[in-house]
Amino acid sequence: MRPEPVKKDGLQLTAKDMKGKAIVDHDLIRELAQLLKETGLSEIEIDRDGMRVRVAREMTLLATPAAVASGAAIPAANAQAPSPESGPADFSKHPGCLHSPMVGTVYLAPEPGTAPFVEVGSRVSQGQTILIIEAMKTMNHIPAPKAGTVTRILVGNQQPVEFGEPLAIIE
């Protein structure tokens, strides 16, 4: 039987020993929760004397001007919205769709503040790096499966992605 995490003020608080048994050190958990608020971190985990404590904050991401500058995907003002009858476009079935090969976080540029690997309209060759997906602290370069022109980038910079999620369209 697995203990349910405690949620308080948008924070998820869990403490388990090495066998998965729930332990509660309320003072330590409160201290870690306060540290999260002070530092702006999304989660913190410590392992001390066979006791593991993890405190995570639920966060809502919003597009900001900083996200625009970093290359986040934001629809153009003149882009046509899909008609209500047709519903949202399903890019996953597009023949030129580049799917995520793993779960992770997308980076559209090699380093913060540098130009992105590709932009809409860029010509790419087969094997050219389109973006990076960070998974388990490893930066995985995602190559173009074929040569062509990037017609859509379907993810934003530093966006979490799932396995099989559409990343870009290359025609």
CB 92 within 8 A of CB 123: no
Domain contains 77? no
Count of structural domains, the chain: 2
Give the model's pLDDT for residue 93. 84
Q: Name the stretches of the chain with pLDDT < 50.
A: 1-4, 60-87
Give the model's pLDDT for residue 86. 41
Domain contains 83? no
- State the residue range of the domain holding 48: 6-57
Rg (CA), the chain: 21
At 116, which CATH number?
2.40.50.100
- For 52, phi then psi, to 5°, come to -110, 130
Q: How far apart are CA 125 and CA 105, in angstroms?
A: 24
Domain contains 80? no
Domain contains 145? yes
For the stretch 48-92, pLDDT in tens is 777 777 777 665 444 444 444 444 444 433 334 343 444 456 787
Q: How far apart are CA 38 and CA 33, in angstroms?
A: 9
pTM of the complete model:
0.49
Domain contains 1? no
Q: Tell me, yes or no, whether 48 and 102 share the same domain.
A: no
- Strand pairing partners for 66? none
